[in-house]
């Protein structure tokens, strides 16, 4: 893991990942906050909920509301969605969001059937 993260100014911010070929999305692993390091974790705001919006090959969408733990380290989200073309993550329910802090997401990984 690097020492960088994606930061947003407010809840409702989103990031979209688009894939070249459709695939079966088995799991999403995310690292909430700015870092996996517990000492660095609380230095930025974190999302306690996240909307997962998956768009499939035919243009259909599947939505899941995810509850995240307020702790450093990876969190696995099982999905099991076929023909995935894009994934949008919308950050919700921030904790620690004060002046000078960003709503942070350190890492996102997508796993397909192998």
What does the pLDDT look like over 46-104, one tens digit per residue? 999 999 999 999 999 999 999 999 999 999 999 999 999 999 999 999 999 999 999 99
Q: Does a structural domain hold residue 32?
A: yes
Report yes or no on 65 lying in a domain. yes
**CATH number of the domain residue 97 falls in:** 2.60.120.260
The pTM for the full model equals 0.91
Confirm whether 1 is domain-assigned: no
Task: Provide the pLDDT for residue 39.
Answer: 87
In a domain, 42, yes or no: yes
Its domain, for residue 46, covers: 6-112
Q: What DSSP line would sit under the chain, residue for residue?
A: --S--EEESSTT-EEEEEEEEEEEEEEEEEEEBS-SSHHHHTTSBEEEEEEEEEEETTS-EEEEEEE--SSSSEEEEEEEEEEEEEEEEEEEEEES--TT--EEEEEEEEEE--
Q: Based on the structure, what is the number of domains in the chain? A: 1
């Amino acid at each position: 893991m690097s020492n960088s993260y994606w930061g947003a100014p407010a809840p409702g911010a989103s990031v979209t990942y688009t894939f070249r070929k459709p695939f079966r999305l088995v799991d999403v692993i995310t690292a909430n906050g700015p870092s996996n390091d517990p000492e660095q974790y609380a230095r930025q705001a974190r999302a306690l909920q996240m909307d997962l919006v998956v768009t499939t090959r035919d243009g259909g969408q599947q939505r899941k509301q995810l509850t995240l733990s307020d702790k450093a380290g990876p969190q696995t989200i099982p999905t099991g969605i076929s023909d995935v073309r894009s994934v949008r993550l919308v950050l919700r329910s921030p904790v620690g969001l004060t002046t000078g802090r960003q709503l942070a997401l350190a890492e996102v990984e997508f796993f397909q059937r192998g």
